[in-house]
Chain A
Amino acid sequence: MNPLVLAARESGNVLRSFWRNRSAAFFTILLPVMFLVLFGAINRDGTVQLAPGGPQIGYTTFFAPGMLAMAIMAGTFVALVIGLTVMRDNGQLKRLRGTPLPPWAFFSGQVVSRLVLVVVEAVLVLGLGRLLFKVSLPPTVAGWATFALVALLGAATFTALGVAFTRLVANADSAPALANAAYLPLLFLSGAWFPISGLPHWLASVAGDFPLAPMLDGLRQALIFGHGLGTIWPDIWKLLAWLAVGLLVALRTFRWERAA
């Protein structure tokens, strides 16, 4: 079996069942868009500063990448932690392990399908943001390329971390709570919703070490100022480091069966 065909089929299967499970599709795709429209409408003319002393930018231009980042983390990390522990607990993973399907093909299917969803989400958020609130788009080609790179690298990182995180989840029942315990605080502390200039310095710097903050920063720098890799390389390095950690832990500790 051609490896590419195998991976493509696996991702097709994931996507097909994703769209059929309405509530999951809603949570992943529509919730961020809904928030964008809602908060955008409430705060249409507001402005914020990314950093103290920085230029004033439109709130929706600040908020749109936040919602994209939220969608990326929900669609990769949260969805995988819940989805994989369910599959682990009910024996689906064990059954797959009993077929000749190579593990890398299974995981490629998981990753590629999530990346496809990220692209869909990015188009929706930027398109609607532009249409309704005149959200600014990357002013340069380098900005566009950087934006795409950060979004995909972030998605890959949160995919790897999601797989790795399943090792900490004892059973599928506790998966949503544990995933959200990581996801929701990070969303706020990393500044997906509001500028975090008011946070105590130590807290902001702790939050900044987690992968959501560099992804957000990279997305905003590219989207708002058209900055390229030359400017945001610290963000890229942080994401790459987390990606490496996630991959290493995932490869070493992933369990195909529920604990006895």
Chain B
Amino acid sequence: MLRTPKAPPSVRSGRDGPAIQARGLGMRYGDREVLCGIDLEVPHGMVVGFLGPNGAGKTTTVEILEGYRRRTAGEASVLGMDPAGGGPELRERIGIVLQETGHNPELTVRETVRQFTGYYRRPRPVDEVIGLVGLQEAAGRRVRALSGGQRRRLDVGLALVGDPELVFLDEPTTGFDPAARRQAWEVIAGLRELGKTVLLTTHYMDEAQALADRVAIIADGRIVAEGTPAQLAAAQHATRIRFSLPAGAGSADLPRVAGQVAVRGRTVELSTDDPTLDLLALCGWAAGRGAALGGLTVTRPSLEDIYLTLTSDKEVAA
């Protein structure tokens, strides 16, 4: 289903520097500052996930980079061009999938794609685009008869018509059922195989985890964390151990451990950087009392937890 790109992106982009580079990006509407110095770098050929709660400034940032909005501060370079003045030259080389977009309901999928091939200098063949997003079966159907998931794939297809080097995807799966979500993910994963650079906006951590090479988290107009999903997880390394106090034991009876202990009712929660030693101590202690650690769980924080911690801190600060 996926074809190799006609030319490696390096040939066309003259890749000095990353596909997207933003420094100190600021946006102010009157007195309201919605972006306060965003630094963002998207290297060529990477899928970067851009995460944050609603109203954090995700869409504003992306729309500045797409050329829809003019920043009020900072520097931005997209494929070596200033997006504020890039014009058709830039739009020839990027593909944009907006959050929600209507279609002309009376045209068929194939006609819609063909219409968009007329807008670009070097379009992909119509049937190739339709194949890329898996709409072969629906190619002859009117857009009004498509399911929500199919329309979203058509959105992605239309963004690929110009064979762009860089694709912006703004919340591509919001409101999808799990099956449609999986299908959309496959299409997005296919973009990487085509050698595209992708900036993916989402508020689903699992989506970023499944698709992105790097993740940047934005909250309240600032980037609060940035790195590979593994780096983000490692940055907050406390492992959580949870169990119920054995019968007859009080919190004062617990053995000495390296981590921090919190007891709520009969539930003990231990947050530790050295789970092996602490578990050894706890298990030895319980075995010594002839009891078991009821409901024992050991969890690493998920990216979801990290995301929630980072973004809720910011909300409190604001």
Which residue of chain B has the shortest Cβ distance to A18 in the bound complex? Answer: B106
Of A21, A99, A257, the contact of B106 (CB 8 Å cutoff): A21
- A70-98 interface with B by 8 A CB criterion: 86-87, 89-92, 94-95, 97-98
Asked if B98 and A100 make an inter-chain contact with CB atoms under 8 angstroms apart, the answer reads no
Closest beta carbon of chain A to B303's beta carbon, Å? 30
Q: Sort chain B's interface into a size bin.
A: 20 to 34
State A257–B91 Cα separation when bound (angstroms): 17
Of B91, B100, B115, the contact of A98 (CB 8 Å cutoff): B91
Known: A16-B111, A17-B106. A99 touches B116 (CB 8 A): yes
Asked if A17 and B107 make an inter-chain contact with CB atoms under 8 angstroms apart, the answer reads yes
Q: Say which one of B11-19, B118-126, B129-137 lies at the interface with A.
A: B118-126
State A16–B119 Cα separation when bound (angstroms): 18
Asked if B102 and A90 make an inter-chain contact with CB atoms under 8 angstroms apart, the answer reads yes
Asked if B106 and A91 make an inter-chain contact with CB atoms under 8 angstroms apart, the answer reads no
Contacts of A1 in B (CB 8 A): 118-119, 121
Which residue of chain A has the shortest Cβ distance to B95 in the bound complex? Answer: A98
Q: How many residues of A contact B (CB 8 A)?
A: 25
Closest beta carbon of chain A to B118's beta carbon, Å? 5
State A9–B142 Cα separation when bound (angstroms): 19
B interface SS class: loop
Asked if A92 and B115 make an inter-chain contact with CB atoms under 8 angstroms apart, the answer reads no
Q: Is A6 an interface residue (CB 8 A)?
A: yes
Of B66, B88, B102, B107, the contact of A100 (CB 8 Å cutoff): B88
Q: Is B176 an interface residue (CB 8 A)?
A: no
Closest beta carbon of chain B to A202's beta carbon, Å? 44
Number of A-B pairs, beta carbon distance below 8 Å: 69
Closest beta carbon of chain A to B126's beta carbon, Å? 14
Closest beta carbon of chain B to A155's beta carbon, Å? 22
The listed residue with most B CB atoms (<10 A of its CB), out of A1, A17, A98, is A98
Q: Is B103 an interface residue (CB 8 A)?
A: yes
Asked if A9 and B118 make an inter-chain contact with CB atoms under 8 angstroms apart, the answer reads yes
Known: A16-B106, A16-B107, A92-B104. A98 touches B118 (CB 8 A): no
Asked if B91 and A87 make an inter-chain contact with CB atoms under 8 angstroms apart, the answer reads no
Of B88, B100, B116, B121, the contact of A91 (CB 8 Å cutoff): B100
State A21–B67 Cα separation when bound (angstroms): 33
Which residue of chain A has the shortest Cβ distance to B158 in the bound complex? Answer: A95
Known: A16-B111, A99-B162. A94 touches B98 (CB 8 A): yes
Q: Is B101 an interface residue (CB 8 A)?
A: yes
State A225–B258 Cα separation when bound (angstroms): 103
Q: Is B39 an interface residue (CB 8 A)?
A: no
Q: Is A20 an interface residue (CB 8 A)?
A: yes
Asked if B101 and A94 make an inter-chain contact with CB atoms under 8 angstroms apart, the answer reads yes
Which residue of chain B has the shortest Cβ distance to A5 in the bound complex? Answer: B118
Which residue of chain B has the shortest Cβ distance to A17 in the bound complex? Answer: B106
19 contacts between A and B (CB under 8 A): A13-B104, A13-B111, A21-B106, A90-B100, A91-B102, A92-B101, A92-B102, A92-B103, A92-B104, A94-B101, A95-B158, A98-B66, A98-B94, A99-B116, A99-B162, A100-B119, A100-B121, A101-B118, A101-B119
- Pick the 5 closest A-B CB pairs, nearest first: A90-B102, A91-B101, A17-B106, A20-B106, A98-B96
A89-B102, A98-B94 are known; give 18 further A-B pairs, CB within 8 A.
Answer: A5-B118, A10-B118, A20-B106, A20-B142, A21-B106, A91-B101, A92-B103, A92-B104, A94-B68, A95-B98, A95-B158, A98-B66, A98-B91, A99-B162, A100-B92, A100-B120, A100-B121, A257-B68
